[in-house]
Amino acid sequence: MTRQSRKLEHLKYSLLLEDGPAAAGFTDFHLIHNCLPDLAWRDIDVSTAVAGIPLPQPVIINAITGGAADVTAVNRELAEFARQTGTAIAVGSQYAAIEDKSAAESYKIVRKTNPNGVIFANLGAHAVPDAARYAVEMIGAQAIQIHLNAGQEIIMSEGDRDFCGYLSHIEAIVEKVDVPVIVKEVGCGIGREQAKALVNIGVKAIDVGGTGGTNFLAIEAARGQLKLDAELLAWGIPTAIAAVEAVSVIESAVDVVVSGGVRTPLDVVKSLSIGGAAAGIAGPILKTLRDKDLDGAVHWYENFILDIKRFMLLVGAHNIHDLRSSPIIITGFSREWLSARGINTVKLATRKKIG
Ligand X SMILES: Cc1cc2nc3c(=O)[nH]c(=O)nc-3n(C[C@H](O)[C@H](O)[C@H](O)COP(=O)(O)O)c2cc1C
Rounded to whole angstroms, how far apart are CA atoms 244 and 315? 19
Q: How far is the CB of 280 from ligand X (least distance, A)?
A: 6
| Nearest partner of 273 among 211, 303, 210, 315, judged by Cα | 315
Site residues (CB under 6 A) for ligand X, limited to 29-68: 62-65
218 or 328, CB closer to ligand X? 218
Rounded to whole angstroms, how far apart are CA atoms 275 and 322? 10
Should residue 113 be labelled a site residue for ligand X when binding is judged by CB under 6 A? no
72 or 122, CB closer to ligand X? 122
One residue of 87, 93, 106, 142 binding ligand X per CB under 6 A: 93
Contact 279, 259 (CB under 8 A): yes
Q: How far is the CB of 168 from ligand X (least distance, A)?
A: 20
246 or 281, CB closer to ligand X? 281
Draw the binding track, 175-214, toward ligand X (x: CB under 6 A; -: no contact).
---------x-xx---------------------x---xx
> Which residue's CB comes closest to ligand X?
213
Sequence-distant (≥ 6) Cβ neighbours of residue 280 within 8 angstroms: 59, 60, 61, 62, 90, 184, 207, 209, 257, 258, 259, 260, 262
Q: How far is the CB of 21 from ligand X (least distance, A)?
A: 13
191-199, 247-255, 280-288, 301-309 -> range binding ligand X (CB under 6 A): 280-288
11 or 278, CB closer to ligand X? 11
40: exposed, middle or buried (C-beta count within 10 Å: 0-12, 13-18, 19+)?
exposed
Should residue 106 be labelled a site residue for ligand X when binding is judged by CB under 6 A? no
Q: Collapsing DSSP states into helix, strand and coil, what is residue 87?
A: coil
Q: CA 130, 135, 137, 140 torsion: positive or negative?
A: negative
DSSP string, 321-334: HHHHTS-EEE-HHH
Site residues (CB under 6 A) for ligand X, limited to 213-272: 213-214, 259-262
Site residues (CB under 6 A) for ligand X, limited to 150-179: none
72 or 345, CB closer to ligand X? 72
* Torsion angles phi and psi, residue 15, rounded to 5: -80, -30
Count of residues that interact with ligand X, criterion CB under 6 A? 26
Q: Which residues bind ligand X (CB under 6 A)?
A: 10-11, 14, 62-65, 92-93, 122, 145, 147, 184, 186-187, 209, 213-214, 259-262, 281-283, 286
